Structures are given as C-alpha cells and as structure tokens.
Structure 1
Amino acid sequence: MRVQGYVIHTRPFQDDKVLVDILTREAGLIRGVWRKKAKEARVSPGSFLLLEFELSGRGELKTIRTAEALEAPVVLQGTALYSAFYVHELIERLLPTNLPFEPLYILYRWLISHLNGEAPAAPLLRRFELGLFEELGMQVNMSATGRGEVLESQQLYQLHHKFGLRPYYGERPKVKPIVFVDGAAATAYAQGDWGSKPVLLLAKELHRAWLDIALGGKPLKSRSLLPSKPYDGERLWQVPLFQLYRSHPSKL
C-alpha cells in the first residue's frame, strides 16, 4: 500500500526500529514501524515534509518499507515551530487511527505552509483547532442557541458545553458557564472573523475549554512552549465576558 502523508510523531522501538505516526490523506492517522539501517542509526523520516510511504501489513501497526520525499521540507523556527509541535500533539492525542479525515489533512497542509510565512500564529491555530473539532464532532454551535433560535446581536448568552448557548437575563447561573458572550460576538466567531482580536480571545477561551474536556483534563506538554497570557478582560460572575455590541451594558 502506498500513501502520502506527514510524520506527526516518532519514538524509539526496540534497538533498530522507530515507531512513526503519519497523517495521511487516504487513511488518516497511521502507525508504522521504521527499521533503521546500520549506517543510518540516527535517521528516521522527518517532519514538515510531504512523503510517499510504502506500507505493508494487515494489522493496525504497519511496516514502513520506504519513505520518499515529494516536496522540499518546510523550515519552521521559533513560535512557528512550537505551534506545529502543539498541532502534532493534538493530532496524536485526539485523532483515532486508521480512519480517513481528508479535510483535516488538507487543513494541516494549509497550516504548515502558512506557519512558514509572515502570518501570525494565533489565527492559524484557532482555525486548525476548529477544523479538528468539526472532524471529531466536538464543536459547539455558535450560530444559534441550543434550541436552534436565531441569535440577537444585543442579547447576552451563557455558553455551556452540553447545552450550547442560552439567553442570559442577569440571574446567578446555577452551573458555571464556559463564557458569557453577546450575539454579535458569537456570530462573528461562527463566521470565522479571525482578524478581530476579541473574536480571537473568545476562540482561545472556547477552544481551551473544549480541549480540556476532550483530553480529560490532562495537560498538553506543548502548551508550555507557546507564549501564554491569562485572560485579563471583562468578567461576569468570574467568567470571561465577550461583547462586540458595545451599546449593550458591559455588566449586568
């Protein structure tokens, strides 16, 4: 079997072998064994490089016969490199093996090519996270309430992971929401307005909360490599508050 893909993670396996996780167009995340030759004791397929792999084996763990580069490698440094490590850890920990996720593969190719440019990393990461949520069926609908009602720009809503958006009228919440958000901000997020700083901050809070739930509260090692700044904006009942419709009172 021949597949095209990117190396997501490698780790030692026995004396002369390496376990390799590959994100492929054809079969999603594949795990294979790469046998190193004696003269290539430290060499294994590299990351950020589109490769064509020849695989064999009927089980879930494949044997990698060959790995041939199809493009020049993407060179990443600094924040771009750490951002890619973060994405690789998300794929490694959340994506099931041997299931095709072609939209996510395409999104990964897009991300790697843009991390190599001058675009800031934050919008790229939020877009990838959203694509990952969509593929895994994890996303929360931010374009309507949990009951399917159209959002009103001036209305304030509370967001719960299980119930989605609910109108908020000033009462103390019985269950702490993830965020409070007005209809304008929720709509801007749903439309992918990544050029808006408030929307990016909203996305950061939402995605972190969803990832923490998906990961069972276990931390991501790669987060420590990326610049981190706690949310220092408005809060309501100690919960982050996001509003774009500024005529709406900032606090109730």
Structure 2
Amino acid sequence: MNNTRSNTDFAYVLHSVPYKETSLIVELFCKEHGRLPVVAKGAKRPHSGLRAVLVSFQPLSVRFTGKSEVKTLMQAEWLGGLMSPDGKALFAAYYLNELLMRGLSREDTHPDLFELYQNTLLGLAGGDDMNVCIRQFEVGLLQSLGYGFDWQQDRAGVAIDPDRHYVWQEQEGWAPSDGGNVNNSTNSSVEQLVQGLWIAEIQNGIWSKSAASALKPITRKLLMTHIAPNGLMSRVWMEHLLRA
C-alpha cells in the first residue's frame, strides 16, 4: 500500500528537458514549494494531457507526490486568464525564468516572489515598460535572497535626501556623492549616480523609466556577483534584440 501523500500548489513552468523516451523533467516555480523538479511521465506522447499544459508563462494548478528530490507530477491544470508575452517581451520573460533557475535553491519557498513573478508577466504581456518590469523583478529577487536595498536611508543611517545623488556600495548601502568617484578599496561601489528622488519614489512604490535605467548597472553587478557569475544567456539575447 502506497501511503505517500500528494501535494497541490499553484505553479509556472521554468524549464523542461526530455527524460527517457516519453517523459519530461520539468522545473516548476511553485507558490508554496518554491523551485521544484518533477517528472512528467508520458508528457511527450502526442495525446498526453500534460503535453498541452506544461508550457512556460501560463498559470497552473499542479498535484505531485514523492519523497525524493525529484517529485512525480500527477496532474496539471491550466488556470487561464494570462496572455503570454510576445515579441521582445518574450525574451524578457525567459530572462526572468533564467534568474529564478540560477537564483533559487530547490524547495526554498518565496510566495512574495511568486506573486511578483506573476505580476511581472502580466505587465510584460500587457505592454508595460519592459525596463521597469525587469528592474522591479531584479530588485524583488535580490531582496528575497537577502541582497536587497535600503530605500529609506544611506549607509550612515541618514535619511535619503531627494535633492542629493547617491552611488551604491555593496554591504554598506547608498553613499552620498557630489558627482565624483567614491574611493573604495574593495571595489564594491558602482559608479552610477542615482538621484535621491528616485530612491525615495521607489520606497513609495513609484518606478520611473529614469530610475529603472539608473539602477540597471547596480542590479547587474549584484546579480553577477551573487546569482550568475558566469553570465546569463537570456540577458545577452535580450540586449542584442533591444539594440536591433
């Protein structure tokens, strides 16, 4: 008698690879179970019920079982209600998936990040500014992994001044700047001036295109340091496309 209990969750497909002749190993991003690998038995068969629903960027209800690291997918149901990003936004969506694949440990739960991912897909599919969508997600991911920003005060504990400019120094925070370089022997500063006004606005949930552009080299350095030191293929593809 099999007493293994099954679990249900909401999920998105991050990545899949063939397994044996007719199956797939699928990396899911689940709301309550985090990044979760599952075996989808028979999913490569032409008439499999799983074949049609195990696609990226679509909300799923899943049921799985198993005690090993790789679970067995028992059921997946498409929940609908979300258009897939297309065009340039599709490359941005694949970039989100690669970040999650690189950044998340398996079964490390991040329900807030799950909601952010879903909302970012909605924004990309709905035509929101791509750079703003991407930057919000990068910042949220870094925050979830413990590498976040303090939007309220600088490294000395002084409240952010909207009339000043700042540079980011990792493990220290925002450093006020008058436009010159910040001397730092650890080379952990990013010489990108960010207006205090933008920092204050982000604290209040307001993201402008200018703020998203200014934060790009900062989030890039943090991501390369903590998540993908060897680079991200989807970022390369996306930036080539954006320049086209």
Fold in common (TM above 0.5): yes
Secondary structure of 2:239 counterpart:
coil
Using the aligned pairs only, state the percent identity. Answer: 24
Q: Partner of 1:246 in structure 2?
A: none
- The answer on 1:54 being equivalent to 2:67 is no
Q: Is the 8 A contact 2:34 2:106 kept in 1?
A: yes
Match of 2:19 among 13, 16, 20: 13
Please list, as runs of the form range in 1=range in 2, the aligned pairs for 1:1-252 lying within 5 A after superposition. Answer: 1-36=7-42, 39-40=45-46, 43=51, 45-71=54-80, 74-168=83-177, 173-175=183-185, 176=187, 177-178=189-190, 179-195=192-208, 197-227=209-239
Tell me by how many angstroms 1:220 deviates: 0.4
Q: Is the 8 A contact 1:16 1:41 kept in 2?
A: no
Describe the shift of the 1:61–1:158 C-alpha distance in structure 2 as closer, same or farther (beyond 3 A).
same
Distance 1:167 1:221 in 2: 34
Describe the shift of the 1:67–1:101 C-alpha distance in structure 2 as closer, same or farther (beyond 3 A).
same
Residues 142-179 of structure 1: CA deviation (Å, up to 9, x unaligned): 32112312223344444211211233465761434213
Q: Is the 8 A contact 1:143 1:150 kept in 2?
A: yes
Distance 1:182 1:48 in 2: 34
Describe the shift of the 1:143–1:61 C-alpha distance in structure 2 as closer, same or farther (beyond 3 A).
same
Tell me by how many angstroms 1:9 deviates: 0.8
Secondary structure of 1:30 counterpart:
strand
In structure 2, what residue type is equivalent to 1:194?
W
Describe the shift of the 1:181–1:54 C-alpha distance in structure 2 as closer, same or farther (beyond 3 A).
closer
Tell me by how many angstroms 1:216 deviates: 4.9
Describe the shift of the 1:46–1:133 C-alpha distance in structure 2 as closer, same or farther (beyond 3 A).
same
Residues 49-104 of structure 1: CA deviation (Å, up to 9, x unaligned): 22222211012210112212122562321111101100000011101211221111
Secondary structure of 2:217 counterpart:
helix
Secondary structure of 1:138 counterpart:
coil
Distance 2:61 2:202 in 1: 37
Secondary structure of 1:227 counterpart:
helix
TM normalised by structure 1 equals 0.80
Describe the shift of the 1:194–1:167 C-alpha distance in structure 2 as closer, same or farther (beyond 3 A).
closer
* Structure 2 spans left out of the alignment, 5+ residues: 1-6
Describe the shift of the 1:64–1:189 C-alpha distance in structure 2 as closer, same or farther (beyond 3 A).
same
Q: Is the 8 A contact 1:9 1:20 kept in 2?
A: yes
Describe the shift of the 1:40–1:146 C-alpha distance in structure 2 as closer, same or farther (beyond 3 A).
same
Describe the shift of the 1:147–1:128 C-alpha distance in structure 2 as closer, same or farther (beyond 3 A).
same
Residues 14-43 of structure 1: CA deviation (Å, up to 9, x unaligned): 333211111111211111111126743893
Tell me by how many angstroms 1:199 deviates: 1.0
In structure 1, what residue type is equivalent to 2:225?
I
Distance 2:167 2:144 in 1: 25
* Structure 1 spans left out of the alignment, 5+ residues: 230-252
Tell me by how many angstroms 1:111 deviates: 1.4
Q: What CA RMSD, in Å, does the superposition of the two structures yield over aligned residues?
A: 2.6
Distance 2:14 2:59 in 1: 11
Describe the shift of the 1:180–1:117 C-alpha distance in structure 2 as closer, same or farther (beyond 3 A).
closer
